Chains A and B, each alone.
Chain A
Amino acid sequence: MERSATRVIARSDVNEWLAHILHHRDVIAPTRSPGGDTMFAPITSPDDVLWDFENPLAPPKQFLLPQTEPLAHFRRIDGHMHVEPVAEQRERVLFNVRSCDASALAFLRETYARDLADDVVERRAASLTVVTLACSVPCELGFCVCTDAGPFLRRDFDVQLTDLGDAFFVEVGTDKGRALVGLADALFQDAASDDQARRDASELAARAHFGGETCHFGSAMRRISTKRVADELWESMSAWCLDCGGCTHVCPTCYCFSVSDTPPADGCSTRCRLWDSCQYSAFTLEATGHNPRTAHGERMKRRFHHKASAQYFQRDGRVGCVGCGRCVKVCMGTTDMPTVIAAIRHGTWDGGRAHA
């Protein structure tokens, strides 16, 4: 018989479920590093998993798009170049991912599947099961409600957990999620209407946390797409950006990359895909030495057009931002997403003073 897509698992049983998962798959979850930071990392015991945590500064993007990703080894043998793809096919579970990050992973999956599909990313995405932990208490800097990426999800998860106190409400979104629950099916019960009501109340309370304020992406998008953002505004804002690329490194939806070959070792080189940043001047540097975007303001304009223009929204079906708030935390200047979106809407820049 087909089981319900909504189940419940007692809090005291979750570790047993995790132990079953660990027996079959690699599990990556938010955990405490030796230095005390919270980070997504492979775990070896259910006790390693954090349940009450601030979303790690480094998103789980690296488990879909590694920062340095070997694509192929190549070597010259008898005058011919031999190329050997790097195969990586591990069944992995991303556990306790926040809603924004799960939306971002879906965004990346869709991006790499579009046009000329990238089979490396597709294979890795296919072997990844995403278990989210809905944000009953939204994080301080997040604005996921403005980008339709949280605090609770309606899509983009394989399993969504909601903390009900003594138990977790379990929503199964895909066959992969069903298989994961099926590893310890006896631990789960079908959800009762009361469980559903508690879950819905939790979502309503979480949404209420955000109040009436939003980032007004729609308004900014209209201004960008109707060319009502003056170049001088980008120029002014760029003076407040230190070009560090931090926003793009921690952004769960940024996917700009470069390609580089390792120096030969024993006659073998490896072609790698590396994270790049559109905020670096060399990102658009051409082989001739020409660079179409030397001015900092032009690079900033490009980044925010990509994130919040109607052109990309139509193509992607989503805003290129999931409202995780990491750019607010990591920005050395004042040009994080909410501050820039506000400047676009108002057509003026105050150095981020209104958001200080």
Chain B
Amino acid sequence: MSEGRLCERGWAAHDAARWGARFHEPHIREHGVLRPASWDEALGVAAKSLRSLRDRGRPVGVLGSGRASNEENFLAVALARVALHTGNVDAGLRRCYEDLLAALEQPAAAADREDGIRRLERSDVIVLIEGDLTTSHPRVAMGVLRALRRGGRLITAGWSRTQMSRLATVHLPLSAAMPVSTLAALQQAFTELAARGDAVSAGGGGASAVERAASIVAESRRVAFVLTPFDADSVVLRTAASLIAALADDVAAAGGTPPLVLPLPVRANTCGAFDMGVAPHLLPGRRSLEDHDARDRLRAVWGTEPCWSGGLSAEEMIDSVSGLVVLADDVTEFHRRPDRAVAALQSLDTLVVFDSFVTPTTKAAHVVLPIAAFGETAGTITSLEGRVQRWRSAADAPHSIRPGWRALRDLLDALGATYAPQSLDVLLRDIWTAVPSYGAIAPAALDAAGGAVLEDSGAPRRATPVADAMRRTASRRVGAAPAEAPSDATADAMRWLLRGEGVFDWGDDPLVTSSPILRRTPASERKLRPTGVVMMSTDDAERLGVRDGWTIRVRSRSGEAHVAVSLRAGQERGVLFVPFAYRDRLSALSGDGGAVEVEVSRA
């Protein structure tokens, strides 16, 4: 995946095991307080509580994780569908990846079996729709840099000027009010160019940024589209992905090489978790719930008739189940309203958490089952391009901490499930049986440098079948939108829009919070700006007469807040973006997300 190169978090990954706050033995909640317990006692309490809820017909669910291995996620699905007999199984941040994926089934690119990132590196032009790729996906950013070094060109679209946009030939600002209008305009401009056949003239003097971008795409032979989950709004992501898919189809139809479309998941093993069936509407192998072959394979592996029903999403589960099992995740990291998420967890009848670290979620748990951290356990993960790789244990977990797969297996056992594999090898073999694309990999290939790429993989090609219909609908709906959303903010009117930004925060990642080196920046930022931060364009700051770090007063229909500003060049004027890390502090103003009109003044 990284070919020996590591991002900042990668270099610090080993720190988490040593420096992270950890439970060294299982804990159970007694009289409102967590106390140490033996594994047998903790597993017994967890199993009894979950069994009781299941038998009484109360809703229960399981959250897998893009941070856990394929083996752990497969067992999480078995825990839900076999032991708890529910379809309530999902993972945080799975949805924003699937939003991108759903629209991207690409007939045009289906024949291509090449490695996604290597294709990206050989692209003549890359169209990148991003939040900030260098922070969110540094390995992909490396691929972009390699393409540029080979003479490729870059077109960026995003909320503000980023490091990538500094290298772009054309930057297309997204409008906070109509986020996908720019992409719709790009597709429209390309269609018109292709119809006229005069790509070069459109790139000449007087052409708009959108026209220049369309022209560059039209004159390039190898085109790549990279889609990050740049927004929390599901509709925005799906529509953006639909437009890009439509544009990719147009590029292919115009006679170029079928373009690469690369949607990016947020976490290292989101793709693997998805493959293992961590989604309420899919079975392992990303098969539909009605797929008879998939059902036969799972019956054989699990030794029983599991639950074939669909279930609740991660967010729905947090709000509505009575019992929840959480694997290697902290719901406050991805929930839009962390305060509400914690309150919801605290109101559960049973919360069982498997985690390596002390988090707000483990603190709310009734049973904490401590599992090995990165570097202390073995398993496999699957990268965004379908590359299955082993990770190996480099050190033993301290005290009585158990490998995640084993702790999950032990809970399955305690629940009396028919499926409880006795070793990691058996578990891997079961996955190979249950998921045909994994079964096609020769076990030895996993040990090769870089692992093995799934034959029928390439995430976009495994999209759900709603793609075509969605793409057509979105294209019609958004295609008629104005080319550029007008900014209503003028010096006189001073109307502002407050809008959330992003779907996760780098500073919340346990690899960051557990590292004495990496946690300094987010910790300092939060300490310095306890009331929160909004991002403001430098032009707006000048008009308002404020400087970086100054406090402003923001008032919406639902409330008022004093908040510090962080200035950003190239951001849309008249818009205040709320970084994901500070969403909670400004939730009184913005409600549950989306854009709201606010009044702004110097504090």
Contacts and interface: CB of A to CB of B under 8 A. Distances in A.
> Does A pair with B?
yes
A334 B145 contact: yes
Contacts of A282: 517-518, 520-521, 524
B130 to A, nearest CB: 14
B476 interface: no
Interface in A32-58: 34-36, 57
Size class of the contact patch on chain A: 35 or more
B11 A244 contact: yes
A242 B392 contact: no
Interface string A338-356: 0000000000000111001
B528 interface: yes
Given A246-B6, A333-B145, A68 B18 contact: yes
B528 A334 contact: no
Interface in B146-171: 148-151, 163, 166-167
A214 interface: no
A282 B527 CA distance: 14
A79 interface: no
A289 B4 contact: no
A36 B449 contact: yes
B7 A242 contact: yes
A244 B166 CA distance: 18
B516 A274 contact: yes
B424 to A, nearest CB: 15
B142 to A, nearest CB: 4
Nearest to A352: B149
A278 to B, nearest CB: 12
Interface in A236-262: 239-240, 242-246, 249, 258, 260, 262
Interface in B1-47: 4-8, 10-11, 15, 18-19, 21
A244 B149 contact: no
B510 to A, nearest CB: 15
B325 interface: no
Given A34-B392, A332-B142, A333-B142, A280 B517 contact: yes
B134 interface: yes
Given A281-B521, A282-B520, A285-B520, A242 B11 contact: no
B139 interface: yes
B141 interface: yes
Nearest to A235: B166
A245 B518 CA distance: 11
A11 interface: no
Contacts of A281: 521
A329 interface: yes
B149 A334 contact: yes
Contacts of B256: none
Interface string B402-423: 0000000000000000000000
A263 interface: yes
Contact of A240 (B7, B151, B167, B527): B167
Contacts of B8: 243-245, 280
B138 interface: yes
A289 B528 CA distance: 7
A244 B11 CA distance: 8
Nearest to B151: A353
Contact of B11 (A36, A246, A351): A246
Nearest to A265: B24
Contact of A244 (B138, B390, B528): B138
A353 to B, nearest CB: 5
B516 A242 contact: no
A332 B133 CA distance: 13
A191 interface: no
Contact of B145 (A242, A262, A285): A242
Interface in B513-535: 516-518, 520-521, 524, 527-528
A285 B524 contact: yes
A99 B5 CA distance: 24
Interface in B87-122: none
Given A244-B11, A332-B138, A239 B517 contact: no
A276 interface: yes
Contact of A353 (B134, B149, B517): B149
A351 B148 contact: yes
A356 B11 contact: no
A243 B134 contact: yes
A242 B7 CA distance: 8
A329 B449 contact: no
A262 B139 CA distance: 31
A239 B5 contact: no
Contacts of A35: 390, 392, 447
B524 A332 contact: no
Contacts of A329: 4
Interface in B348-400: 390, 392
A280 B141 CA distance: 18
25 contacts: A35-B447, A36-B449, A57-B4, A242-B134, A242-B138, A242-B142, A244-B5, A244-B10, A246-B5, A246-B6, A258-B516, A260-B19, A274-B517, A275-B517, A280-B517, A282-B521, A285-B521, A289-B524, A330-B6, A332-B141, A333-B145, A351-B145, A351-B149, A352-B149, A353-B149
**Which 8 pairs show the lowest CB-CB distances between chains A and B?**
A282-B520, A260-B516, A332-B142, A289-B528, A282-B521, A239-B166, A356-B149, A244-B7
